[in-house]
Amino acid sequence: MITQMKKYTFLVFHRDYENFLSDIRDLGVVHITEKASGIADNEELQEYLQKEDNLRRIIAQGAPDQLLKEKADLQQRIQDTQKEAQRMAVWGDFSKERLKALEKDGYKLKFFSCSKSAFEDDWGVIVAEQGGNIYFTQILHNNEPAIDLGDKVKEITLSDKCASELEQDVKNLEGLLVAENARIEAWQLQELPKLKKELQEVRGQIDWKKVNLNTDTLAEGSLKLLEGFCPIDNEEALNNLLKEQEVYYEETDPTVEDNTPIKLKNNKFIQMFESLTGMYGWPNYNEFDPTPILGPFFLLFFAFCMGDSGYGILLTIIGILITKGKLKIDMFDGLGPIITTLGIGTTVIGFFLGTFFGMNLAELLPGISHIFLNGKFMDTNFDLQMVLALGIGVFHICLAMVVKSICYTKQTGFVNNLGTWGWTLLVVGGVITLSVSALFSLPQETVKWIMICLGGVSAIGIYILNNVHRNPLINIGSGLWDTYNMVTGLMGDVLSYVRLYALGLAGGMLGAAFNRLGLMVRGDEPSIGTWIAFLLIVIVGHLLNLALSSLGAFVHPLRLSFVEYFKNVGYEGKGKKYEPFKLVKE
């Protein structure tokens, strides 16, 4: 739900303005109205913003650029030296000084490699055979011409060091890398707290600067005018502060043109899903909060896409460990509660879908097999889970149309939304009628007259009264165009929900495939070795499947919410989040 706001206009004497802003910041409940111009052009503010970006980057990196560059250079040197040691390993240990001495005595060594099939015995002395290649050398005396070896032979230039010397260099470099890591850790212990404190101060300066830039100066600089918004929950505290300071202010209800900031107020369960709403965009003040509907349906969609109760148990355990701080993964920081919730939902839904780590629960628990949603739908050839997915989609879209009609009516009145109500009556009424008919076997004549009545009443709103301020002939044309868009759009939207079934089916089949592969490796007469191989295949396979399924189960429900649902509910998501002017804390 969207918290009701109050719009404030403050008029303050210029000498009292700094103290006024300080007190407002300490209270921390006023969202300052931003001007359309002035912010981007202010050089001092841009310098602060650049400094903030640099501090954030260094803190996120965990070290300044120079230290990271030195570490990266060491890592690259280690990698290059390791490759060179591997290249020189076939030539064994040799002395570069001894080779130079031979050259002084009139001998010169050349080194080559070629495929084993291409090598000829008179080409030189074989040093090593490796990977189907021959490594050999030619010993030339007194500028003796080399044998022409053709294009199939590659001449090799030796390093100044042999493989053992290069391997020792790798160990030395690794020691330097350990020292470099210790140097970075020491820097983090000493400097990171200072940088975080500095970042906090810079952010405070940025907020202070923005507030001053959003302040209007009146009466030749004597008065300062500032506008902002305050939630009604904090209205009394703000008014008391203003009365104590004897500040002149006006308090009004926001209008549509005010671009009122949005503060959502939901219970703890719905709050977990507010970040999903923020990913799409916050609602406008005159819109509705989609989170109370988005949250439960996202949970249902996620669980349906995962479709495995075993994976749900794993997700629940992972979520609990993250919440308690026992498992630290940066990308999941703060997401422990929602992961736990999604895991519990997956466990429940996955159980009724009849899958546990890729195993069919109907076969494992034949005594209660009737409760699992497997098999065909009634007497048709359609899979029950696929029909269920489509049914969820139909319900989701119908709910969106009802919510849209109610919200639009609240915003602009019933008369201005007769077309919207016409489509809602036709689609939702038709779905209810056909569903009741299928479940309770209503007489065909009754169903026919209900549909005729629904169609007739809906047609008036869709084709004649879709805009009461417009020519009826234009309304008819507009209604026909809406009909084309609605029919094609609804069909595509409903079919999109098949992905709930498809993803769950794919994850279950992949899990079952890992189980079968593990059993094949174990065999009918397993040994310790085959048992170990079985466990490795099953554990690694299911962890991989869990990761892939979780990714799909997150992305596709978001799509169904952001595209199919938001489109049919008419949600725009162009609002501004409530961000009060307050002391910055990490």
Alpha helices in 523-572 (DSSP H): 528-559, 566-569
For residue 438, the model assigns a pLDDT of 77
Nearest to 74 by CA among 144, 169, 146: 169
Work out the angle between the directed axes of helices 498-522 and 384-412 (0-180°, nearest 10): 150
Work out the angle between the directed axes of helices 163-213 and 17-27 (0-180°, nearest 10): 120
For residue 135, the model assigns a pLDDT of 92
> In 10 A of CB 162, how many CB atoms?
18
Work out the angle between the directed axes of helices 472-496 and 498-522 (0-180°, nearest 10): 10
| Residue with the two structure tokens 């009826």 | 472
For residue 167, the model assigns a pLDDT of 93
> In 10 A of CB 233, how many CB atoms?
12
Instruction: Give φ, ψ of 150 to 5 degrees.
Output: 80, -170
Question: Secondary structure of 408-467 in the HEC alphabet?
Answer: HHHHHCCHHHHHHHHHHHHHHHHHHHHHHHHHHCCCHHHHHHHHHHHHHHHHHHHHHCCC
| Residue with the two structure tokens 């907020």 | 207
DSSP 106-142: TEEEEEEEEETTT--GGG-EEEEEETTEEEEEEEEET
For residue 112, the model assigns a pLDDT of 92
For residues 126 and 163, give the distance between their C-alpha atoms in angstroms, rounded to a whole number: 18
Q: CA-based Rg of the chain, rounded to a whole angstrom?
A: 36
For residue 77, the model assigns a pLDDT of 95
Nearest to 59 by CA among 157, 250, 229, 198: 198
Residues in the chain with pLDDT values less than 70: 36-41, 584-586
For residue 84, the model assigns a pLDDT of 92
- Predicted model pTM: 0.76
For residues 398 and 427, give the distance between their C-alpha atoms in angstroms, rounded to a whole number: 7
Beta strands in 216-314 (DSSP E): 216-218, 223-231, 248-252
- Domain positions in the chain are 95-157, 291-374+501-570, 384-496
For residue 299, the model assigns a pLDDT of 94
Helices (H) and strands (E) counted in the chain, each on its own, are 19, 11
For residues 128 and 89, give the distance between their C-alpha atoms in angstroms, rounded to a whole number: 10
Q: Which residues, 6 or more positions from 203, have their beta carbon under 8 angstroms from its beta carbon?
A: 52, 584
Residue type, 561: S
Residue type, 486: M
Instruction: Give φ, ψ of 14 to 5 degrees.
Output: -60, -30
* Separation in Å, CA 359 to CA 3, 255, 353, 368, 384: 47, 57, 11, 15, 18
- 496-529 residues labelled b (16+ CB within 10 A) or e (exposed): bbebbbbbbbbbbebbbebbeebeebbeeeeeee
Q: Facing residues of 230 across strands?
A: 6
DSSP 35-87: PSSSTTT-HHHHHHHHHHHHHHHHHHHTS-HHHHHHHHHHHHHHHHHHHHHHH
Please say whether the beta carbons of 421 and 481 come within 8 A: no
Residue type, 140: L
Nearest to 248 by CA among 580, 26, 16, 582: 16
